Structure 1
């Protein structure tokens, strides 16, 4: 399915103060962080190398059907092999507790029938999608809208899960800039690893441990654990600010070019090389819409060409995205999002023809 890299990266405790300071630097109209040394952002390249998710494929989108609880129970039984209790449902969400209890009770071994193995595998995939990649802001529940994409286990890898993750993260960052928003969700592991990798003064010490690159024996296309697995070691924050938003804000205010790593990924590293050799690198520089059902957010690598070892040119004017931010599932129940966002899907399918270009240069900080 392409999700194994996410499992290898595991999870970490988030520094909410660092995330708060980053949100304060986020701009909804450009989808970039505005630092003193220039604009920077999380791109498709970052998601691809950190988690190793599939990128080039169909958008993660479908029909948003409002099923009754009884219908959701039938769907869970047919796809996942168990029937959650009525109390475990809340609208189109399923309690994480129900999935955990099923996981503990299920018994899968080498003698299990293939159908049982497939159902258990789909359950694990739903946990990864709804619990790690696009976690629900309500906490403790998973959105069942993704089940429709899991019906055919052979097609799951054909979707661009990477662009869906980035779209969801962009939307959460944009929503969090509103004064009335107090809780941020989304793949915060990606946001934190991105900040640690690029912003020198928030980078934790590795305690003398080497960066671990674990062999992945199950994936043919991703032979090594992705870059994000490096950050599974135990860290020390002796020389970096943590859990102190005022100090991090002050550091951001004074940050210079030499304190920001524009070029992070080394092609000679086996975990990075394994990802880079898989794709046409133009796909990471595509100025295109990112789609995740109701969410459509623009990807603007043309504003951060220095992250691609290119000279930054004057980018296209920023576009007001507020009309997209008002679109959500609450106001559009039983919507076929493939039809609603058909123009965005066309642009996504033509993305390689709209890759940002720039003059390559040997980047020298400062």
Structure 2
């Protein structure tokens, strides 16, 4: 049996056995912390961002996030715990963020010849007058536009502010990069028509960005992490409530999280937290409309970013028996591409083979057999302990 874990890469987990050696990642979440004005809220709802706009902020535990990154395997896009492989899924995005999933991928042209003109058309003004080559909008400018909404405002101005609010959410909370002070302009044209904006799979784009940032953060020299960290932390707390014990929360607690995950994940990991009555009763039906593709096996896309979503590797998160999975898909040179220097490149055409696979998601759903319990089969357990990385400490 071929091992899943590559030995030719320097992974942050290589230092896990040294209790005095740990890294605490930094991240930047610039949430607005103000509710959207009721006058432009209908536009957020029309575009598919109504639910996520209700998220104000979250106190991030970077010691917990750093310990999670130690368990992330770039080979499989899953966490390797003693209980088996698990990951942040499309279900988590739908239930926790309320973003659309079963839609067209978030892609297209990421750079334009006259960005100021695009801003004037869709935001009512340009943050960089006289500069035709800027690629991002600073959060401070967007916040000023949102907070500066006057008592008497036209419908067109409300639409511009709604776009500014969505752009702030995209860049500051949903898909932030490690720069942390601006959002790329490539998303703005997708918001031109709010009724069309909701036809994009914003949820899978958020997940693709998080996967890319988790991959990048496994490198030992990396100090910062982007992506939707609110989603990542919430995912962990729903499934590993024993990580919330009093006293944890300082940066020096990475080794404590390390140890608790090692000791408790095998029996204490909650595979299906949203199925518990207290939670299921408050999940809106709108969050479940795309449940038919949550376990698909396809690439997920956000312009230049393409990551593989292996729903077939984490079937226990959907209440099913987990067979020994196929070898994970590798993207080769298409993994790690950036927008830099690619003026007027249409990523939808460049990544057309991955777009086609995403659009074929219904035919890429694995065979699903409902399980009577969450215990792995003896065959899977033997395979995973031989080929995966169930433990960090002592390994």
| TM-score relative to the length of structure 2 | 0.77
Q: Which 5+ residue runs of structure 1 have no aligned equivalent?
A: 205-236
Give how far 1:277 is off.
Answer: 4.4
- Encode CA deviations 1:303-328: one digit per residue, 9 max, x unaligned: 11111111110101123345332311
Q: Which segments of structure 1 move beyond 6 Å, counting only runs of 4 or more?
A: 87-90
Give how far 1:267 is off.
Answer: 7.0
- Encode CA deviations 1:119-174: one digit per residue, 9 max, x unaligned: 12111111122221111321111111111111122201010000000000000001
Does residue 262 (structure 1) correspond to residue 308 (structure 2)? The answer is no
Does residue 167 (structure 1) correspond to residue 176 (structure 2)? The answer is no
Q: How does 1:217-256 map to 2 (within 5 A)?
A: 237-238=245-246, 243=251, 244-256=253-265
Distance 1:94 1:276 in 2: 30
Q: Which 5+ residue runs of structure 2 have no aligned equivalent?
A: 1-46, 377-395
Residue in 1 that maps onto 2:237: 196
Does residue 84 (structure 1) correspond to residue 84 (structure 2)? The answer is no
Secondary structure of the corresponding residue to residue 230 of structure 2: helix
How big is the alpha-carbon RMSD for the aligned residues of Structure 1 and Structure 2? 2.2
Kept in 2: contact 1:93–1:143 (CA 8 A): yes
1:63 to 109, 112, 115: 109
- Encode CA deviations 1:249-293: one digit per residue, 9 max, x unaligned: 1112223432100111127533325245423x3210110110100
Give how far 1:104 is off.
Answer: 2.6
Shift of the 87–169 alpha-carbon distance from structure 1 to 2, 3 Å rule, reads: farther
Kept in 2: contact 1:311–1:359 (CA 8 A): yes
Kept in 1: contact 2:305–2:336 (CA 8 A): no
Residue in 2 that maps onto 1:221: none
Give how far 1:242 is off.
Answer: 5.7
Shift of the 349–241 alpha-carbon distance from structure 1 to 2, 3 Å rule, reads: same
Q: How does 1:272-351 map to 2 (within 5 A)?
A: 272-275=283-286, 277-279=288-290, 281-330=291-340, 332-351=342-361
Secondary structure of the corresponding residue to residue 137 of structure 2: strand
Residue in 2 that maps onto 1:148: 189
- Encode CA deviations 1:193-230: one digit per residue, 9 max, x unaligned: 0000001321x3xxxxxxxxxxxxxxxxxxxxxxxxxx
Kept in 1: contact 2:296–2:365 (CA 8 A): yes
2:179 to 134, 138, 160: 138
Distance 1:273 1:94 in 2: 33
Give how far 1:29 is off.
Answer: 1.2
Secondary structure of the corresponding residue to residue 68 of structure 2: helix
Secondary structure of the corresponding residue to residue 285 of structure 1: coil
Distance 1:52 1:115 in 2: 26
Larger CA deviation: 324-333 vs 113-122: 324-333
Shift of the 40–88 alpha-carbon distance from structure 1 to 2, 3 Å rule, reads: farther
Residue in 2 that maps onto 1:121: 162
Distance 1:31 1:104 in 2: 39
Secondary structure of the corresponding residue to residue 297 of structure 1: strand
